[in-house]
Amino acid sequence: MTGVLDNRKTGTRILLGAVVLLLGGSMLLYLVPTTPGTDEASTDSVAKIGDQSVSLQEVRQKVNEYEQQRQIPKFFESRLALEILQNLVFQKEIEYEAKRLGITVSDQERADRIRQFLPTAFNGGTFVGMDRYAAEVQARFQLRVAEFEELIRRGLLEEKFRKLVTDGISVGPAELQDEFRIKNEKVKLDYALIKTEELEAKITPDEGEIKASFEKNKSKYQVPEKRVVRYALVDVNQIRQNLQISDDQLKVQYQKNIQQYQVPNRVHAQHILLMTVGKTDAEVEEIRKKAEDILNQLKKGAKFEDLAKKYSEDPGTKDKGGDLGWLVQGQTVPEFEKVAFSLQKAQTSDLVKTQYGFHIIKVLDKETAHTKPFEEVKDSLRAPLLLSQADKQASDIADQMSAAIRKSNKTSLDDLANQYKLILGETRPVGATDPLLELGNSTDVKDAIFRLRAGELSLPIRTDRGYVVLSLKTVLPAHQATLEEVRDKIITELKREKAAALARNKAEELVKRAKAGEKFDAAAKALGLEPKTSDLLARDGSVPGAASGKQLSPAFNLKPGGVGVPLNLGQNWLVYRVAEKQEPNPADFEKQKKELTESVLQSKRELAFQAFRTALEDRLKKEGKLKLMPEKLKGFGTSS
């Protein structure tokens, strides 16, 4: 949770079906609102849990919400849908188990959590009223009150189950020592990275190998049907280049959209936030002292951006040096807003206490409310107006061509191009799965090409370049490929195959030589490889451009001088020798003990809860209370 920004930052929505909000280190809140009536069984159910169900429509809604936030590859959609289904099912499994065990969330518990989570809903001990409360919920989370309160209830219910499952978990001294060792031991490696791609460039298969490979794999080399089409293009970009936009036209657009040029009072601010949510009074005092120390560093000349990256606990701005962007009045909590808008440009505040913690605020820039003048924005108006008018002209031409083609499909492509001043062109032979780059790789165009019959014209089709009309020129039937047709493909396959074998052989040979006592650098150079030495590396670090600490975890079990087995990194191989090993400093154990304990506890608790989740699902399946129908998700991830 970002903390300061009520609208932009705090209202984070679903991530793979469930986003967990952390308050005081314990509150888990799944932001997956269920629409009314979804508990009733329906014909499009993809899961049934007792007398409840999850519908295909629910899953589709969550997938759409996720895709509105970020673009994902089409092939990932099926995985996304499955994860969303699993989270929706788990919600209902928790509800089922709570009902069976008599676990409930009281109105008072929910009200207390709302007070903690949304303190602005109360003025002292007095409720601010339903209208303002509803407005706060909508502004912060883009939710209705009923949805928000249901999410609070679900979060508290899951929290109760987590406590049941994890409250008895503790950490032993041996576990802490293991975690201390894992987090603190480091290794320095001599290594050589063997890149298959570099080896490929040095390989040239001879004619005999090419012919032998072709004969051996002849049956797999089939050339599919390909087609060549002529096309006439209404080029939107060309139309746009020939258009002229007057200042009078731009002024009309300016007046029509005058509101979007009204700039409110706003400040461009950055902040450092130390969170106090859920902390005891003693902990809050310690946090205040830390915040004062940071403030003193700023006063002595330290860079605000550097301290924000080092100390700030606002994940949304930490990596950006605390930059919050432009803030308008009403967007932040009152205490923050009052100080931010009172500061001058380049001025830094003292400590500011809000419901989230201690802030240090710096104003980078300020703007007083005004309307941007026409001269300031007219250049930004020109491009979209040009595009809009060019699109309209292209659309009008496409409509006229559609009418002409429907009237007589015997109209020639050349006549059409002459009449409407279109660009004529011709595609190369294209198969059903080949890219069609000259026409924007449009799937609609590709479909039309393979539906066309000789002598026909397609209706205008919208592409990235404009509207195109197609005419079939040539059909090249599917056939057994000749060597010349697939020569390049065979050469590529042979080079890849030979390079992969050579890379593996080099890796094994380097390991053999290093283990036999040959100097690592000399052995690597003798094999045509470039030896390197890493910096000291922890398990959570990496060898840049080579491998992660996790991939290199076996290295931490070797003694100095030990050589690891060749590490396959997809297309590449890595061979390494432990040059130096740095053991943890026992004196650091007590300093890290609290952090280590929390880390191990969190890990063990998460493992325990996942085990509970798996066991619950298995039991409900055996009892016949859970039925999953993931095969109904097969429509996700496919092109419509």
Q: What is the mean pLDDT of residues 420-432?
A: 92
In this predicted structure, the answer to whether residue 33 has a pLDDT above a threshold of 50 is no
**Amino acid 10: pLDDT:** 30
In this predicted structure, the answer to whether residue 309 has a pLDDT above a threshold of 70 is yes
User: Domain 186-196+485-582, what architecture?
Assistant: Roll (3.10)
Domain boundary assignment for the chain: 45-169+605-633, 186-196+485-582, 222-245+389-478, 265-368
Residue 324, phi then psi, degrees to nearest 5? -95, -5
**Rounded to two decimals, what is the model's pTM?**
0.55
DSSP state of 35: P
- Element holding 582 (H helix, E strand): strand 572-582
In this predicted structure, the answer to whether residue 553 has a pLDDT above a threshold of 60 is yes
% of the chain at pLDDT higher than 70: 93
Distance CA 519, CA 528 (A): 15
Q: What is the mean pLDDT of residues 47-70?
A: 87
Q: What is the mean pLDDT of residues 102-124?
A: 85
Residues β-bridged to residue 54 = 47
* Strands of 357-367's sheet in order across: 323-328, 266-275, 357-367, 348-353
Tens-place pLDDT, residues 118-144: 887 877 777 888 888 888 888 777 888
Q: Which of 617, 431, 507 is nearest to 196 (CA)?
A: 507
Question: What is the pLDDT confidence band of residue 77, given thresholds at 50, 70 and 90?
Answer: confident
Question: What is the pLDDT confidence band of residue 254, given thresholds at 50, 70 and 90?
Answer: confident
Question: What is the pLDDT confidence band of residue 8, given thresholds at 50, 70 and 90?
Answer: very low
In this predicted structure, the answer to whether residue 16 has a pLDDT above a threshold of 60 is no
In this predicted structure, the answer to whether residue 31 has a pLDDT above a threshold of 50 is no
Domain 222-245+389-478 sits in CATH 3.10.50: yes
**Amino acid 359: pLDDT:** 96
**Amino acid 18: pLDDT:** 27
Residues β-bridged to residue 223 = 479
In this predicted structure, the answer to whether residue 7 has a pLDDT above a threshold of 50 is no
Mean pLDDT for the chain? Answer: 87
Distance CA 152, CA 33 (A): 11
User: Domain 265-368, what architecture?
Assistant: Roll (3.10)
* Domains 186-196+485-582 and 222-245+389-478 alike in fold: yes
In this predicted structure, the answer to whether residue 191 has a pLDDT above a threshold of 50 is yes
Tens-place pLDDT, residues 159-172: 999 999 999 899 99
3-class secondary-structure state, position 187: strand
In this predicted structure, the answer to whether residue 504 has a pLDDT above a threshold of 70 is yes
Tens-place pLDDT, residues 36-55: 334 434 458 899 999 999 99
Q: What is the mean pLDDT of residues 203-229?
A: 93
Tell me how far CA of residue 338 lies from CA of 9, 325, 359, 596, in angstroms.
19, 17, 13, 39
Distance CA 521, CA 381 (A): 62
Q: Quick one: fold of 45-169+605-633?
A: Triger factor/SurA peptide-binding fold (1.10.4030)
**Amino acid 639: pLDDT:** 55
In this predicted structure, the answer to whether residue 28 has a pLDDT above a threshold of 60 is no
